[in-house]
Amino acid sequence: MELENRTATPLNFIVLLALFAASGLVLWMRPEVAGLATFGFVLLGWIIGLCLHEFGHAATAAAFGDYSVKARGYLTLDPLVYINGPNSIVLPVLILVLGGIALPGAAVLTRPDLIRHRWQSSLISLAGPLMSLICALISYGAAQVAFAQAAPEVFAQALILLTFFNLMAFVLNLLPVPGFDGFGVITPLLPQPLRDMAERLERLPWISLLAVLAIFFFGFPLIHALMAVVAGTLGLDLSAVSPAFARFRFWS
């Protein structure tokens, strides 16, 4: 029965989508509450992106033979299923709200013993960041439509901010740092002795915590430079981020 419940229609994700749409409608129709509405709209959109990021990992693992992800409910897109300790949805949301850093956490537990090839393990790690990139491109495309159709500026700019956060998640997660997806991409491809060392390093929880703290306090110039390169390569104009971010932090 538990398995059937976990693989049922993802009602919580549908509710999340409905709240996201409702906050967008408020942002469109009530510009006088643009600060609070921008916060709700972007935060809910970010949580949706987190779910899709983790779903990317899970769906790729399932495609390569890891049946455990379905039993654990990872294919339902239910945000509650992805709460796996403080490093999952809870911590990324807090970091986004307090520091403006878009960092998905480790939430999907996979079974490496069920994956036949090392390159498949690398693709499983890569799938999450790629899903974040897809989310960024979708929100950017929606923003361009909104600008072209003369939608309220606060609404279009909020979509640009959501693009910015998803693009940051893509860039950050590809860093080859223990606990980040980029480390999971390269580790399976290393020679056996180096791979054993990397796996032992990744099991030290304080390593990823130190990396997050370093990014939080010192890493903004590097991250923004990397994002500028990626945005320029993809032809994304993120100049509307600043006013939207100011509204997102409506309390400051």
User: What count of other Cβ atoms lies within 10 Å of the Cβ of residue 201?
Assistant: 14
Q: Catalytic annotation on 54? A: yes
DSSP, res 62: H
Q: H or E stretch including 80?
A: none
Per DSSP, 102 falls in state -
| Token pair listed for 174 | 């590809």
Torsion of CA 102, 107, 111, 114, to 10 degrees: -50
- Active-site option among 2, 4, 32, 54: 54
Would you give the end-to-end CA distance of the chain in angstroms?
47
Answer for the pair 201, 132: CB distance below 8 angstroms, yes or no: no
- 3-class secondary structure, 74: helix
How buried is 106 (Cβ within 10 angstroms: 0-12 exposed, 13-18 middle, 19+ buried)? buried
Place of tokens 């994002």: 227
Task: Name the residue with tokens 């370093």.
Answer: 214
For the annotated catalytic residues, the residue numbers are 54
